[in-house]
Amino acid sequence: MSLADVNYLKGQKEYQRMAKHLLAIMEPLIRCSTPSGREEEVAERLLQFVNGRCPGWTAFSDRDGAEGIGNVLAVPTQYVDRSNRFASTKALPIIMAHMDTVDMNDREQLSAYTFSDSIDGHGIVGGDQDFVLGFDDRAGIALILYLVSTSRDPEFKVLFTVEEESTRHQDLRVDGRGGGGGIQYALTAYREYFDTSPWTIMVDRAEDRSEPVGRGSIRKTPSDIVYNYFHQDTCSPAFRGKIEAISQDLSTPMRSAESGAKGDTYNIYKHYRHGSRPYASVNLAAGGYREHKPGDYLCIYETIRTLRVVEECIRQQDDLYQASQAQ
């Protein structure tokens, strides 16, 4: 997203309203200190938010009444399978984010932080603090909670994973990846959550720095749709091409990109690569910059860009499924 795109979005009253709403959701999440393996505080906030403020949704932890790892799941109540809560009575796409952040902070620094004095005229949030705010992946979580709280007749389900950055469970590590414990547990302990889903989008990708603006930088080129890890595609060309087309139609173009760092969508690809049908999963940029470093920051208008793309993908989920099956 270019500076011109940001200037266009910030001039629209609808996007100013969306930015305010997203930041109101995100700020209490930022104050939670949840390094990998200690995500309980943010998990509890997510359960309270969905079950308390989002009529028509049912959220639960995979630890509820059973052994689990701490992932949080949310399904439209009308589609909850009463005989197996990890399945759904209708095939619904999964929208994902992860709950853990890198462990680099004094808890007191986060607990006292507010956005009120940290937003500049270009929608840059943060960037001037000497600690990590954790927009990776608080931005993805806030985007999903916005969709959950505003969607009428929702036609998607949600997974918030633990231990994406790093996992303590050696048996859940895949291909040398240091993280991914939460997603790997989900794939093995309740695969039916994915089997009753046509495709998955994760909102977790960091942006690149390129064009100076405000206290930070934003991209000059379209933001990423990550579909490839180490020369292994996680979806068909038609699937990522469809997302690119959707973003173009919304006048906020995104482009397909490769990654040298494995994310949760890599685990999904590995789990389903020899399955009976292709299963598509991609990772979308969420507007965050300087991930895992003090002074990390967010361009909230880029987060809104991705939100609109995800929202339209949900609307066009059947077309995306057909694209996912193309070889």
**How does pLDDT run across 153-175, given as a tens digit for each residue?**
999 999 999 999 999 999 999 99
Contact predicate 73/62, CB 8 Å: yes
| Model confidence, pTM | 0.93
State the Cα torsion 96-40-61-184 to the nearest 10°.
50
Pick the closest to residue 138 from 227, 234, 34 (CA basis). Answer: 34
CATH of the domain at 296: 3.40.630.10
> 323: which residues sit within 8 A by CB, 6+ positions away?
236, 238, 239, 241, 242, 280
Using left for φ > 0, alpha for ψ between -120 and 50, and beta otherwise, residue 202 falls in beta
Query: What is the percent of the chain with per-residue pLDDT over 70, rounded to a whole number?
Result: 88
Full domain range(s) for residue 296: 3-324
Q: Residue range 75-82: average pLDDT?
A: 94
3-state secondary structure of 9: helix
Positive/negative CA dihedral, 203, 324, 5, 25: negative
Q: Residue range 168-191: average pLDDT?
A: 94
- pLDDT tier for residue 111 given thresholds of 50, 70 and 90: confident
Cβ neighbourhood burial of 126 (10 Å; 0-12, 13-18, 19+): buried
Q: What would the pLDDT profile of 32-75 be if each residue is shown by its tens digit?
A: 888 999 999 999 999 999 999 999 999 999 998 668 999 999 99
Positive/negative CA dihedral, 258, 289, 144, 141: positive
Strand 72-76 and strand 157-161: the pairing is antiparallel
Contact predicate 217/287, CB 8 Å: no
Number of domains forming the structure of the chain? 1
